[in-house]
């Protein structure tokens, strides 16, 4: 493999998504007799940071004079949960090769230590940069979120769910490249999960990650899938644009209640300067019901991300879509037959999905609908939900292409089943319905019973605390 792929030096020519997905790489795992032997290969420099596993140093490869980061980890006790997390992290890093995901170059093992040699990110963590800048411009945010979405699409295609996406786990390769862009690398796969099962096996129940970035379905403890990463992208994007998290509360239970009872807040003065396009995306990423969340692929196709100003701003709710469609019918650009809504009675047990999955359309990600069109979403068609449940990711991939790997699994499908989108629906009604569905026993119900319970006291005053269940 070329050195450039490992070092990430290809960054400048990777604006096209297809060129960013590179081939799997071979990561050598090298056994050393003594720790001092590594000092003959690398010259250790300044300390870059300290994590829960070990210390990270800047290091220069003596032979090539290239700079790297080396994470020095004290070998945890065999069989311990720490070992499992480390193994999981190394396992995943060995499989990934993407310009926006940290690259693992080599692993060195000695009797007492493990050394992970990764590409060096001289710009530090994204949260440090945010603290300095207070907030990012829309252009800067667009570039960062596009990179993050590309990384997540790539990971999800490999059935990897990061589960702890946050500003602290996004490193900045270098402060700014020649074009003034901030190039990011997703890191810290300690809490990531690789889904290998089918259908229900792909639903995870561990509560892990960092509270303010945590998807409500994960907080509720009832089960979640890869859509938890989408929620985190939404929180990251919100924070980049205004410097603060969208939802804050003292405990997990109160935070969940806050998320369930409020719209995504855009009332601070700073939001008056932010485009409607960006706000629409945030609303679509931060949908309470994962079944209604925008998919990472849809995010990449959104005109706000692509910068395609020729695509008209598309209405973000059913009512607006109806109005626009009726206007089109009135002006003769479409026939009434195109308006293929069914009555709400007809839709019992079914869910309505946009007919097209085109850029800039409604955020519903029911992409398994066989009906696809290149025109913007204008009509809703019912799809049977039963067909989706229980299907394997592999089968879905074969049937529908790699996109299907991010298809919501059964639990999400159940959520769809309970949504009846009538023509009278509005965004607010939809959100209320989301919350109702979410909190009902039919799908991902929210268990607020822990309020005042055992986990609350433990979490008091620690909004950003990480809950690593496996430790």
Ligand X SMILES: Nc1ncnc2c1ncn2[C@@H]1O[C@H](COP(=O)(O)OP(=O)(O)OP(=O)(O)O)[C@@H](O)[C@H]1O
| Residues in binding site | 71
Does position 49 bind ligand X by CB under 6 A? Answer: yes
Does position 74 bind ligand X by CB under 6 A? Answer: no
Does position 90 bind ligand X by CB under 6 A? Answer: no
Using CB under 6 A, pick the residue from 114, 171, 182, 214 that binds ligand X. Answer: 171
Q: Which is nearer to ligand X, 115 or 438 (CB)?
A: 115
Does position 190 bind ligand X by CB under 6 A? Answer: yes
Contact present, 274 and 138 (Cβ < 8 Å): yes
> Near ligand X by CB under 6 A, which window of 52-60, 295-303, 334-342, 419-427?
52-60
CA distance 220 to 444: 8
CB-based closest residue to ligand X: 51
- Shortest Å distance, C-beta 49 to ligand X: 2
* Binding-site residue set for ATP: 71
Size of the site for ligand X (CB under 6 A): 20
Does position 96 bind ligand X by CB under 6 A? Answer: no
Q: Which is nearer to ligand X, 69 or 286 (CB)?
A: 69
- Shortest Å distance, C-beta 258 to ligand X: 26
Does position 118 bind ligand X by CB under 6 A? Answer: yes
Using CB under 6 A, pick the residue from 59, 114, 120, 255 that binds ligand X. Answer: 120
Among the listed residues 159, 164, 396, 434, the single catalytic one is: 164
Does position 81 bind ligand X by CB under 6 A? Answer: no
Using CB under 6 A, pick the residue from 100, 104, 107, 125 that binds ligand X. Answer: 125
Does position 53 bind ligand X by CB under 6 A? Answer: yes
Q: Any catalytic annotation for residue 35?
A: no
All residues at 6 or more sequence positions from 360 whose CB lies less than 8 Å from its CB, including other chains: 301, 302, 303, 311, 312, 313, 314, 376
Using CB under 6 A, pick the residue from 27, 48, 288, 444 that binds ligand X. Answer: 48
> Near ligand X by CB under 6 A, which window of 22-30, 46-54, 206-214, 348-356?
46-54
Does position 50 bind ligand X by CB under 6 A? Answer: yes
Q: Which is nearer to ligand X, 166 or 287 (CB)?
A: 166
- Shortest Å distance, C-beta 169 to ligand X: 6
Contact present, 167 and 280 (Cβ < 8 Å): no
Using CB under 6 A, pick the residue from 15, 19, 43, 52 that binds ligand X. Answer: 52
Using CB under 6 A, pick the residue from 25, 27, 38, 71 that binds ligand X. Answer: 71
- Shortest Å distance, C-beta 89 to ligand X: 8
- Shortest Å distance, C-beta 326 to ligand X: 52
> Near ligand X by CB under 6 A, which window of 28-36, 44-52, 234-242, 406-414?
44-52
- The contact set with ligand X (CB under 6 A) reads 48-54, 56, 69, 71, 102, 118, 120-121, 124-125, 171, 187-188, 190
Active site residues: 164
């Amino acid at each position: 493999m070329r050195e450039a792929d490992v070092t990430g030096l290809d960054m400048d020519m990777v604006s096209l998504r297809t060129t960013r997905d590179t081939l799997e790489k071979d990561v050598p795992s090298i056994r050393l007799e003594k720790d001092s032997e590594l000092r003959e290969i690398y010259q250790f420099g300044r300390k870059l940071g300290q994590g829960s596993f070990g210390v990270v140093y800047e290091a220069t490869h003596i032979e090539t004079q290239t700079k790297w980061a080396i994470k020095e980890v004290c070998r945890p006790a065999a069989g311990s949960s720490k070992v499992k997390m480390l193994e999981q992290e190394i396992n995943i890093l060995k499989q990934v090769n993407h310009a926006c995901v940290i690259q693992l170059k080599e692993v060195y093992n000695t009797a007492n230590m493990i050394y992970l040699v990764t590409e060096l990110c001289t710009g530090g963590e994204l949260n440090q940069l945010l603290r300095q800048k207070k907030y990012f411009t829309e252009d800067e945010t667009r570039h960062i979120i596009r990179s993050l979405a590309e990384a997540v699409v790539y990971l999800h295609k490999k059935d990897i769910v990061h589960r702890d996406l946050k500003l602290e786990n996004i490193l900045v390769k270098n402060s700014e490249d020649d074009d003034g862009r901030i190039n990011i690398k997703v890191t810290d796969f300690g809490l990531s999960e690789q889904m290998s099962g089918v259908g229900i096996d792909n639903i995870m129940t561990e509560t892990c990650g960092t509270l303010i970035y945590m998807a409500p379905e994960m907080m509720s403890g009832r089960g979640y899938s890869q859509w938890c990463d989408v929620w985190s992208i939404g929180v990251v994007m919100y924070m980049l644009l205004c410097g603060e998290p969208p939802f804050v509360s003292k405990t997990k239970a109160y935070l969940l209640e806050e998320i369930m009872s409020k719209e995504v807040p855009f009332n601070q003065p700073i939001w008056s300067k932010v485009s409607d396009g960006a706000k629409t995306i945030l609303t679509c990423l931060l949908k309470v019901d994962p079944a209604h969340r925008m998919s990472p692929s849809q995010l990449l196709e959104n005109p706000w991300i692509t910068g395609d100003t020729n695509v008209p701003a598309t209405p973000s709710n059913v009512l607006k879509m109806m109005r626009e469609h009726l206007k089109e019918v009135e002006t003769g650009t479409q026939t009434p037959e195109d308006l293929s809504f069914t009555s709400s009675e007809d839709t019992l047990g079914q869910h309505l999905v946009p007919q097209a999955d085109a850029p800039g359309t409604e955020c519903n990600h029911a992409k398994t609908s066989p009906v696809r069109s290149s025109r913007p979403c204008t009509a809703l068609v019912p799809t049977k939900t039963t067909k989706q449940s229980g299907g394997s990711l592999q089968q879905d991939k074969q049937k529908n292409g790699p996109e299907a790997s991010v298809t919501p699994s059964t639990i999400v499908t159940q959520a769809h089943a309970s949504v009846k989108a009538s023509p009278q629906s509005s965004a607010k009604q939809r959100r209320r319905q989301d919350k109702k569905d979410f909190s009902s026993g039919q799908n991902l119900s929210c268990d607020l019973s822990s309020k005042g319970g055992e986990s609350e006291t433990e979490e008091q005053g620690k909004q950003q605390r990480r809950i690593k269940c496996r430790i």
